[in-house]
């Protein structure tokens, strides 16, 4: 089909290509970078991913590429359809670019353009995307068993808490490393710091069967473990629990995002501190309420929902939906979401491997507020010091990141190993050996595997930096 091509409009569209400031979607930002370098195939791939999740700037940029024939065949019909779709957003509707293209069409071309637009609208309108991102909810018992524990060390009951007859619970997120040890420990909820500390002390000694991809061990991120501290003959007032649940549910039903999140969170942590089962009508899936709160703009709910979908917790694991919800939280500045996206995209364990997107989010997370960004800075410092590709290494920058890490950082293994690797990359093998020996001694005290630690230490003794592929 031949259509009238307007060079004036083509130039106008080139000037209209959308750039944003602040935290953008990784796919959109990478699309801009590829486009600026003339790598149109990669740009089209990134914009397409962002566009299908409802990013109007990416939808507009796809329209520009179709009009100009960049990577794709020149197609004003498709250009109009994407530009019209982007015009659902008020800021792009005002530009009227789709209307300028449309007015030059013949009657037959207008019919085809309307049909193409309706096809995109059916798939990628705000309402269609909203519906497509709903999780498939499951009962807890239907969730998949994703990891296997090889060694458990149960935390000691804190003496003061026991003397005071205090019951307790701790929810903790962690990463299962390639050797099966644990790292990146983050307390999600806890009834007291005393309980948190004994859990951190014990969980560092745990070992798992690492996940395998193509026969190679990979890290598993965002794994959740719950601990309940009970005293025989004591328990929580079940009538009070049910009353609190009932009151909070009524608040959530009123539609306030924070109330919806609070109710969902209470439902999720309830099994961590009691075996009590609420009456029918209150035994709901927390993901239902995270979803409602997230659609009402609650950022943390987007993160919790994305993480649960990623892990298959009370819902079917669906990587594409997980990326969408985590990206919503990440673009709003939530460091935990940025970090989880980064490490999952880099590793390819549960999301499709995309190192460029992963590194984008890791750099954003590392630049965030301290001390929340400590694990992101450590991860980035590690990559900057151990990446096999010289162009990806920067020992000086890695050293700067380490200076921001507090000495009481809970994950001692990662802290010690990263310090050693960074010093080695900076040719300071004396400090590298000292830090690696601290990591080795710590691992021995915890009963953890030491083979990889020994390999790195031998490297440093031979004045060789350590290298590890992403």
Helix (H) or strand (E) holding 433: helix 429-446
DSSP string over 331-381: HTT-HHHHHHHHHHHHH-SSS---HHHHHHHHHHHHTSSTTTTHHHHHHHH
Write the CB contacts of 31 (distance below 8 Å, at least 6 apart in sequence). 42, 43, 44, 45, 46, 47, 50, 58, 61
Paired residues of 212 in beta bridges? 217
- Of 11-25, 88-102, 127-141, 298-312, give the lowest mean pLDDT range: 11-25
Residue 388: half-sphere exposure toward Cβ, Cα within 13 Å: 3
Q: Residue 13's pLDDT band (boundaries 50, 70, 90)? A: very low
Write the CB contacts of 190 (distance below 8 Å, at least 6 apart in sequence). 168, 169, 170, 171, 196, 199
- Residue ranges per structural domain of the chain: 7-132, 140-342, 369-461
Q: How far is residue 270's CA from residue 450's CA, in Å, rounded to a whole number? A: 37
Q: How far is residue 383's CA from residue 404's CA, in Å, rounded to a whole number? A: 17
CA neighbor of 101 nearest in space, from 122, 118, 87, 120: 87
Task: Enter the tokens of residue 160.
Answer: 């003061």
Mean pLDDT along residues 447-468: 96
Helix (H, G, I), strand (E, B) or coil at 434: helix
- Of 15-24, 115-124, 175-184, give the lowest mean pLDDT range: 15-24
Kindly tell me if the per-residue pLDDT of 9 is higher than 60. Answer: no
pLDDT the model gives residue 8: 46
What proportion of the chain, given as a percentage, has pLDDT over 70?
91
Q: Residue 20's pLDDT band (boundaries 50, 70, 90)? A: very low
* Bond before 371 cis per omega within 30 degrees: yes
pLDDT, tens only, 77-119: 999 999 999 999 988 887 788 999 999 999 999 999 999 999 9
- Mean pLDDT estimate for the chain: 89
pLDDT, tens only, 160-183: 999 999 988 898 989 999 899 999
Write the CB contacts of 107 (distance below 8 Å, at least 6 apart in sequence). none
Mean pLDDT along residues 405-420: 91
Q: Which CATH architecture has domain 140-342?
A: 2-Layer Sandwich (3.30)
Q: How far is residue 82's CA from residue 29's CA, in Å, rounded to a whole number? A: 19
Q: Which residue has the higher pLDDT, 145 or 266?
A: 266
* pTM for this entry: 0.86
Q: How far is residue 170's CA from residue 192's CA, in Å, rounded to a whole number? A: 8
Q: How far is residue 225's CA from residue 173's CA, in Å, rounded to a whole number? A: 6
- Cβ distance 264 to 242 under 8 Å? no
Q: How far is residue 123's CA from residue 189's CA, in Å, rounded to a whole number? A: 38
pLDDT the model gives residue 17: 46
- Cβ distance 269 to 263 under 8 Å? no
Mean pLDDT along residues 128-137: 93
Quote the Cα angle for 140-143-146, to 5°.
135
Task: Enter the tokens of residue 246.
Answer: 């009932």
pLDDT the model gives residue 204: 96
pLDDT the model gives residue 442: 97
CA neighbor of 35 nearest in space, from 67, 6, 62: 62
Q: Which residue has the higher pLDDT, 100 or 142?
A: 100
Kindly tell me if the per-residue pLDDT of 282 is higher than 80. Answer: no
Alpha carbon separation from 463 to 73, 387, 429 (Å, rounded):
54, 17, 6
Q: Residue 2's pLDDT band (boundaries 50, 70, 90)? A: very low
């Amino acid at each position: 089909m031949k259509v009238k091509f307007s060079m004036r409009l083509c130039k106008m569209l080139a000037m209209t290509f959308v750039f944003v400031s602040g935290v953008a979607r990784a796919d959109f930002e990478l699309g801009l970078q590829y486009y600026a370098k003339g790598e149109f195939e990669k740009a089209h791939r990134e914009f397409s991913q962002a566009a299908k999740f409802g990013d109007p700037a990416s939808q507009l940029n796809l329209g520009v590429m179709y009009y100009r024939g960049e990577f794709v065949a020149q197609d004003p019909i498709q250009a109009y359809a994407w530009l019209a779709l982007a015009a659902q957003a008020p800021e792009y509707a005002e530009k009227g670019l789709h209307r300028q293209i449309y007015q030059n069409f013949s009657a037959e071309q207008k019919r085809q353009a309307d049909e193409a637009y309706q096809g995109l609208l059916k798939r990628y309108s705000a309402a269609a995307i909203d519906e497509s991102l709903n999780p498939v909810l499951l009962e807890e018992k239907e969730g998949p068993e994703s990891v296997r524990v090889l060694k458990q060390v149960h935390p000691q009951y804190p003496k003061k808490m026991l003397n005071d007859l205090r019951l307790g619970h701790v929810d903790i997120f962690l990463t299962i490393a390639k050797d099966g040890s644990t790292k990146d420990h983050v307390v999600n909820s806890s009834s007291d710091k005393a309980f948190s500390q004994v859990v951190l002390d014990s969980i560092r000694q745990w070992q798992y069967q690492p996940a395998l991809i193509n026969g190679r061990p990979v890290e598993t991120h965002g794994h959740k473990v719950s601990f309940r501290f009970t005293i025989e003959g004591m328990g929580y007032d079940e009538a009070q629990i049910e009353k609190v649940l009932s009151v909070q549910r009524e608040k959530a039903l009123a539609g306030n995002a924070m109330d919806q999140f609070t109710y969902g969170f209470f439902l999720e942590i309830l099994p961590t501190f009691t075996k009590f089962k609420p009456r029918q009508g209150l035994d709901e899936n927390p993901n239902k309420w995270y979803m409602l709160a997230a659609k009402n703009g609650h950022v943390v709910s987007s993160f919790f929902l994305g993480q649960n979908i990623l892990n298959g917790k009370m819902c079917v694991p669906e990587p594409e939906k997980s990326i969408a919800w985590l990206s919503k939280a990440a673009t709003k500045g939530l460091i935990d979401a940025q970090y989880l996206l980064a490490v999952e995209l880099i590793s390819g364990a549960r999301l499709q491997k995309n190192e460029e997107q992963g590194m984008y989010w890791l750099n954003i997370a590392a630049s965030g507020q301290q001390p929340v960004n400590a694990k992101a800075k450590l991860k980035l410092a590690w990559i900057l010091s151990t990446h096999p590709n010289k162009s990806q290494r920067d020992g000086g920058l890695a050293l700067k990141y380490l200076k921001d890490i507090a000495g009481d950082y809970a994950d001692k293994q990662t802290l010690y190993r990263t310090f050693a690797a960074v010093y080695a990359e900076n040719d300071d093998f004396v400090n590298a050996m000292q830090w690696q020996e601290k990591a080795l001694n710590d691992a021995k005290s915890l009963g953890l595997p030491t083979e990889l630690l020994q390999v790195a230490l031998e490297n440093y003794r031979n004045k060789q930096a350590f290298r590890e592929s992403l």
